[in-house]
Chains A and B, each alone.
Chain A
């Protein structure tokens, strides 16, 4: 319950509407209807405001625009507030313009601060523009407020809106890759609509380490902002800056604001680009004859008869040319993947307003085609931001964001492998098509090319809405009371149809199907609702040289999710693909609900003396529904301090130093993302089947399937940060450096428990301690050579070293271990000693069946067994976490041309090659990359890269060992852009302010150590990463 009916807030219809709108008894369906009404009413307000500015009496004004030194500013834009009418200054800085009396004009020019001038009745104006002090007076958005960049005492990084827009990615998360030191973005797919995973300063916890994202002051998902709509993006990296967000901030915080309208200026923009995507790289698979020959060798090495007759092998290619049905030679990857796929992005926006209402509406559309058929993603977004000044003391904001995303993809349910894995593991002598163009049955009905074309679909549609209503009330000067409500609604529908594919031979005989005899339809609906409420009081005061700022507030979050799924098997008329069309004798359904809530109190005090000495402290008190009432509340304090040395008098005369500040901080943060009811042990329902009356009947059964520990509580992260910010040579050179150390304790872990306890999943325990230590440096240089030529170079580098300190002795020993004293997810396996030779009988073995040419492992000292075994002989062999992640960019503008280059990479990591990358005949038949042919161990080739061909030996050869580790360092050309801006003189005639065309490439090339054909960023079974070639325009009216 938020606002009851009997509390009248305002007569204003919008507020009434909101009051009704958020009544507790609302139904999702009515909400959907109301969206439309809300949208229409907001558009109405917007149009009304832009219209009133037009009807005034006209006068003519003239004057000059100059800089503080009296030098004329050439080409400055002068626009009547609230209109599109305007002019530009000439070579003397002079202008002449007809304006309505008592109106305002806005004067803008690049490199200067915008100026608004009240015309009044004067007809002659002399305007002085002040040069923009971009760096130090920049305002940075921080938790529940803003702060001047110069006043920051924590490790806070910002990214310019232009930098994000220039990356030209449909998803915001991917645009951050390599942009900010200490922020690592990884991708695991190049599929349409795929996003990036963000880590700030390493793996803080062993659970979810993704940062908290605040969008216009309310929690959200980073990819729920169109990159074109981003106004500012701030990353709170250290514990002190993030502590105001308490229990959600342990993994860092990203604060995003979206673009809002400026007063008086009507701006219409369009930007869009179209591009094609191609795989960054693809492995070449082994040729069919090599496959046959090697398979014979593989069998013979195990004492078995060869499978293929030499005559058959030798003539296979020739025969294939004549009779491809009998002698297929299929390039599975080529058949599955298209050569290229189209991508497009469009954004259209209108912004304007007067001193009462300012509105910006932005409409975005993005779409990506997949490299495989029937795979598409598209997204529509609408962002509407309104600022309302009700009177001098009361201001409001009313924002809305609507999104629909649609993703359609072929159904993957026919086979346990992904399509890409299938295409790479099927040998080429299985047919994809018959010569008459119909689908062949591949291997036993497994034909990924048929699957993606005829095997059914999985369609997902998400309708998402986010609203924000905010009031800021300033009853007395410097004191602001604010209230904000931000509800979110998400409606998600996934509909999967698995269609049986029947295969026929050339004569029309049925030869098999995909292993399913009946079509299956699953329709899944998920709706979620969340509401965030915030109430804050801020007080800012400057008394002489002392500046204070105090903030106190309350925040609550509530989230609820409901799911419902129905399924039927058997569709007599498969074209009718709704649940009701399915057979009624095989069906199932399921549904459920989840809730969680968070309540918090917080406060901040900041103080500075003479802009030289700064201190700030944050505290937060959080309660979470995810913990037992006795262990529910957590307290998260922080403190930070800074010294701006360059503001000291003794440095006034040093003119090469424009800024120098040192700062340090300490803070404590929490994490609670551990499932919704983790502390309660629940009885789970299942079915068992018995006979009754001669029929099989289901019995409902209950059992406790998982163990639960009642007294689990917050994970806590405590951290220090020390850093400095420096600027030299009139801010042309900027250097930032941070060193940090943080330790996370009481980490909620699912430690392996003995299986004999009888629970399927281990319970959560507050068990782990993890340390992270690292540093970040960023440097940038920007310079203006002359009017025609400007350039900038930026570079950032960071390192994070992670150590698992304590696991309560219960190390997790998989192929990647979480083990005391080691890095999180370190590679764990055997140490190889090269190949067994003729003396193989003398050495310890893993299975006992090893022969010369199999990989020999080191028997670690202290073991009891004579065999190599998993308990005694595996050790940490490498690191899976990236270190020395870096990014670099270079930009140059020459006259109307601009060029940009972005690089990104990882300096040190180890990649474990997968079986698909190194193992021939896995499962005794699977295909493999061409580079293995001629490169495996034989008695004549004992120095080969790959072990001997053997099924018997494969059990030990393809164990995880350092034999299969490769250097995972890479550097990627993330983006190259070349743009051309049409001269303004040309555009003026057609009423266009700016027109730029560009060509751009994303993910063009990478330098790496992977075997040929594999991308260092993703695993062998993932959708390939893509290189995107784009051309686009941006227009401003």
Chain B
């Protein structure tokens, strides 16, 4: 033993150990490339452009911010309880997502020249157009919601970040419209059926037409809408109700949608939207203001003397979209009869009568639906039992909106002509498709009186696009938010609640804007909220984190 452990051997061993143990300190991530020379091949451009199809890249509002929907869960309440502040999550989250998208677009726009010589020109231009479309989309949302915001067209290094100031809203919109024009020029008209369906000219036109309308650029809006109407690929899907279900996913009406697939984990949970009897929370409810906005089948407002409307039988003889969009008493969804005034209801699937948790009469926990109404649009019988893995696509832009944009833009331009009436009537005609197929007619709009037509178009947008997230901006741009969102919101009629109850005790009164009001029946109903909409909320505040990290951004008035 001692021989082996002599000094020399130990020294040799120690040296060998020391040599082999000097650690290599150059360690790099093995899962992701670093940015150094990215964007320099066609493949790299492609994967970078693929990022523009992620869901947060599509800024949207929800009708929960508006007078169409009440969410008991609290979404949007801040906006009409008057309690929002610059720290509210709504303002921060959308802002952050928009700028995240802008930066990714700017990174690509800035560095993609590296791949210019190794990429076919049309492909390179197409990816550039996709980036510009994405960036424009964000800026249009920001400008319409927050007013003046920082306009960044290049990636900004941290050192320069604090020198940024806000840019005038109009300049931002000009830039976005210019970017969209580039996209319209260089994006393809369509793709082969087997190809990956990326953005097309139509995508850019749809965004352009919506936001041109939002920013009162009626000429641009009408022009873009006209281009889509002349596009030759879009038409209204014949069945309004099915458009929002599995069957309608490939409809020619859809311009931009977010594809969903439960197999890939891209799915939604609709538990808040469906009946308690089906395992839901019945939390998202259409307001009475929304259902009373649906016309009667004669095309008249329900308070019209000529209208065949009875508040005792309020869901008969109405615009067919009412029953296709809203789950009304006596109707069924998910194989369950919806009976907000019955202690028991019938389960079609199990073929038996069950205790009705959706009725105030048998739900002792006070958690039945606040209005006795749910949405039906977008929900089907098949979703029962699998409401957490719903993968019906989310439609963001569709052709019916285009037609209504055209009609409204032309109206506001003072160019009321037959094409305006045709556009509205195309939308209304589809709503009555089944009636027409059975030999009936639909209530055609014939008036050319601007005042009347304006009320009709606004009502048409409200019902055609109900619960699609467009109502909030409509209220803002029509300057109606402080009217519509400044009144008590009523819920179910609580007076003398019984199995024989009706929803209403009188016909609502309509104000000068064509909005239904309920002051005269308020004592008979549960009041859901005393809404308050402060004037300052027309323009959202610069989020707290921004005005703190860069105080020279300033703040919008009133915040």
A interface, CB within 8 angstroms of B: 1-4, 7-12, 302-305, 307-308, 326-327, 390-391, 393-394, 429-430, 443-445, 473, 475, 481, 483, 505, 507, 509-513, 515-518, 533, 535, 554, 556-558, 569, 585-586, 588, 592-593, 595-599, 623-625, 629, 632, 676-677, 680-694, 696-704, 707, 709, 752-760, 763, 765, 810-811, 813, 846-849, 865, 867, 869-871, 923-924, 952, 955-956
In the complex, the chain A residue whose C-beta lies closest to that of B278 is: A512
Q: CA A10 – CA B49 in complex, angstroms?
A: 61
Q: CA A512 – CA B265 in complex, angstroms?
A: 23
Does any Cβ of A come within 8 Å of B449's Cβ? no
Report yes or no: A701 in contact with B20, Cβ–Cβ below 8 A: no
28 residue pairs A–B, Cβ–Cβ below 8 Å: A2-B17, A2-B20, A4-B16, A7-B12, A10-B4, A12-B1, A304-B530, A307-B366, A308-B366, A429-B365, A443-B367, A515-B388, A516-B388, A535-B18, A558-B23, A597-B27, A677-B29, A680-B28, A682-B32, A685-B32, A688-B52, A698-B264, A703-B51, A754-B150, A756-B152, A758-B103, A870-B86, A924-B74
Report yes or no: A682 in contact with B29, Cβ–Cβ below 8 A: yes
Report yes or no: B197 in contact with A690, Cβ–Cβ below 8 A: yes
Q: CA A505 – CA B162 in complex, angstroms?
A: 60
Q: Which of A443, A688, A758, A763 has the most CB of B within 10 A?
A: A758
Q: Which of B96, B152, B262, B264 has the most CB of A within 10 A?
A: B264
What are the residues of chain A within 8 A of B350 when measuring CB–CB? 509
Contact of B365 among A430, A483, A585, A688 (CB under 8 A): A430
- Interface-located stretch among B168-176, B408-416, B546-554: B546-554
In the complex, the chain B residue whose C-beta lies closest to that of A476 is: B7
In the complex, the chain A residue whose C-beta lies closest to that of B281 is: A444
Q: CA A477 – CA B17 in complex, angstroms?
A: 24
Contact of B83 among A598, A759, A955 (CB under 8 A): A955
Contact of B150 among A2, A593, A756 (CB under 8 A): A756
In the complex, the chain A residue whose C-beta lies closest to that of B197 is: A691
Report yes or no: A10 in contact with B20, Cβ–Cβ below 8 A: no
Residues 354-369 of B, flagged 1 when their CB comes within 8 A of A and 0 if not, give 1101000000111100
In the complex, the chain B residue whose C-beta lies closest to that of A10 is: B4
Contact of B26 among A303, A629, A689 (CB under 8 A): A629
Does any Cβ of A come within 8 Å of B14's Cβ? yes
In the complex, the chain B residue whose C-beta lies closest to that of A570 is: B389
In the complex, the chain A residue whose C-beta lies closest to that of B199 is: A690
Contact of A755 among B10, B12, B546 (CB under 8 A): B546
What are the residues of chain A within 8 A of B2 when measuring CB–CB? 391
Which of B489-518 touch A at CB < 8 Å? 494
User: Assuming the A-B contacts A515-B269, A689-B261, are A535 and B14 also in contact, with contact meaning beta carbons closer than 8 angstroms in the complex?
Assistant: yes
Contact of B20 among A4, A304, A865 (CB under 8 A): A4
Q: CA A869 – CA B102 in complex, angstroms?
A: 29
Q: CA A758 – CA B155 in complex, angstroms?
A: 9
Does any Cβ of A come within 8 Å of B462's Cβ? no
Report yes or no: A760 in contact with B50, Cβ–Cβ below 8 A: no
Report yes or no: A586 in contact with B262, Cβ–Cβ below 8 A: yes
B interface, CB within 8 angstroms of A: 1-2, 4-5, 7, 10, 12-14, 16-18, 20-35, 38, 44, 47-55, 72, 74, 78, 81-87, 92, 95-96, 99-104, 106-107, 149-150, 152, 156, 158, 161-162, 164, 193-198, 250, 258-266, 269, 271, 276-277, 279, 281, 347, 350, 352, 354-355, 357, 364-367, 385-389, 391, 488, 494, 526-530, 532, 534, 543-550, 555, 558-559
User: Assuming the A-B contacts A535-B18, A755-B95, are A689 and B53 also in contact, with contact meaning beta carbons closer than 8 angstroms in the complex?
Assistant: yes
What are the residues of chain A within 8 A of B162 when measuring CB–CB? 754
What are the residues of chain A within 8 A of B48 when measuring CB–CB? 701-703
What are the residues of chain B within 8 A of A688 when measuring CB–CB? 50-55
- In the complex, besides A511-B357, A703-B51, A704-B107, 4 extra interface pairs with C-beta distance below 8 angstroms are A1-B20, A517-B387, A625-B23, A755-B95
Q: CA A763 – CA B266 in complex, angstroms?
A: 29
Report yes or no: B104 in contact with A758, Cβ–Cβ below 8 A: yes
User: Assuming the A-B contacts A2-B20, A599-B22, A701-B53, are A848 and B85 also in contact, with contact meaning beta carbons closer than 8 angstroms in the complex?
Assistant: no
Q: CA A595 – CA B387 in complex, angstroms?
A: 42
In the complex, the chain A residue whose C-beta lies closest to that of B550 is: A754
Report yes or no: A847 in contact with B1, Cβ–Cβ below 8 A: no
Report yes or no: A869 in contact with B197, Cβ–Cβ below 8 A: no
In the complex, the chain A residue whose C-beta lies closest to that of B271 is: A515
A439 CB to nearest chain B CB (Å): 15
A893 CB to nearest chain B CB (Å): 48
Q: CA A558 – CA B545 in complex, angstroms?
A: 39
In the complex, the chain B residue whose C-beta lies closest to that of A513 is: B279
Report yes or no: A756 in contact with B99, Cβ–Cβ below 8 A: yes
In the complex, the chain B residue whose C-beta lies closest to that of A500 is: B388
What are the residues of chain B within 8 A of A595 when measuring CB–CB? 27
Report yes or no: A390 in contact with B29, Cβ–Cβ below 8 A: no
Q: CA A92 – CA B287 in complex, angstroms?
A: 100
User: Assuming the A-B contacts A512-B279, A813-B548, are A757 and B161 also in contact, with contact meaning beta carbons closer than 8 angstroms in the complex?
Assistant: yes
User: Assuming the A-B contacts A689-B264, A753-B549, are A676 and B367 also in contact, with contact meaning beta carbons closer than 8 angstroms in the complex?
Assistant: no
Report yes or no: A473 in contact with B198, Cβ–Cβ below 8 A: no
User: Assuming the A-B contacts A535-B18, A703-B107, A955-B81, are A509 and B25 also in contact, with contact meaning beta carbons closer than 8 angstroms in the complex?
Assistant: no
What are the residues of chain A within 8 A of B16 when measuring CB–CB? 3-4, 7
Q: Which 5 A-B pairs have the closest CB atoms?
A: A758-B103, A701-B50, A688-B53, A696-B261, A955-B83
User: Assuming the A-B contacts A701-B53, A703-B104, A755-B92, are A690 and B198 also in contact, with contact meaning beta carbons closer than 8 angstroms in the complex?
Assistant: yes
Report yes or no: B32 in contact with A684, Cβ–Cβ below 8 A: yes
In the complex, the chain B residue whose C-beta lies closest to that of A623 is: B25
Contact of B85 among A303, A699, A701, A846 (CB under 8 A): A846
What are the residues of chain B within 8 A of A515 when measuring CB–CB? 269, 271, 279, 388
Report yes or no: A305 in contact with B494, Cβ–Cβ below 8 A: yes
Report yes or no: A599 in contact with B10, Cβ–Cβ below 8 A: no
In the complex, the chain B residue whose C-beta lies closest to that of A509 is: B354
Report yes or no: A760 in contact with B388, Cβ–Cβ below 8 A: no
What are the residues of chain B within 8 A of A443 when measuring CB–CB? 365, 367
Q: CA A911 – CA B268 in complex, angstroms?
A: 39
Report yes or no: A686 in contact with B54, Cβ–Cβ below 8 A: yes
In the complex, the chain A residue whose C-beta lies closest to that of B383 is: A517
Report yes or no: A702 in contact with B51, Cβ–Cβ below 8 A: yes
User: Assuming the A-B contacts A692-B196, A753-B549, are A586 and B259 also in contact, with contact meaning beta carbons closer than 8 angstroms in the complex?
Assistant: no
What are the residues of chain B within 8 A of A632 when measuring CB–CB? 25
What are the residues of chain B within 8 A of A870 when measuring CB–CB? 85-87, 544
B252 CB to nearest chain A CB (Å): 13
Report yes or no: B158 in contact with A757, Cβ–Cβ below 8 A: yes
Report yes or no: B82 in contact with A849, Cβ–Cβ below 8 A: yes
Q: CA A557 – CA B87 in complex, angstroms?
A: 45
What are the residues of chain A within 8 A of B150 when measuring CB–CB? 754, 756
In the complex, the chain B residue whose C-beta lies closest to that of A505 is: B355
Report yes or no: B34 in contact with A681, Cβ–Cβ below 8 A: yes
Q: CA A871 – CA B549 in complex, angstroms?
A: 11
Q: CA A641 – CA B108 in complex, angstroms?
A: 60
Q: CA A569 – CA B464 in complex, angstroms?
A: 37
Q: CA A481 – CA B264 in complex, angstroms?
A: 59
What are the residues of chain B within 8 A of A473 when measuring CB–CB? 5, 10
Q: CA A829 – CA B96 in complex, angstroms?
A: 24
Report yes or no: B82 in contact with A597, Cβ–Cβ below 8 A: no
Report yes or no: B161 in contact with A754, Cβ–Cβ below 8 A: yes
B36 CB to nearest chain A CB (Å): 8
What are the residues of chain A within 8 A of B35 when measuring CB–CB? 681-683, 704
In the complex, the chain B residue whose C-beta lies closest to that of A810 is: B549
In the complex, the chain A residue whose C-beta lies closest to that of B262 is: A586
Report yes or no: A869 in contact with B54, Cβ–Cβ below 8 A: no
In the complex, the chain A residue whose C-beta lies closest to that of B156 is: A757
What are the residues of chain B within 8 A of A754 when measuring CB–CB? 150, 161-162, 164, 545-546, 549-550
Q: CA A305 – CA B49 in complex, angstroms?
A: 53
What are the residues of chain A within 8 A of B33 when measuring CB–CB? 682-683, 702
Q: CA A689 – CA B50 in complex, angstroms?
A: 9
What are the residues of chain B within 8 A of A558 when measuring CB–CB? 23
B371 CB to nearest chain A CB (Å): 14
What are the residues of chain A within 8 A of B17 when measuring CB–CB? 2-3, 483, 533, 535
Contact of B367 among A10, A444, A598, A682 (CB under 8 A): A444
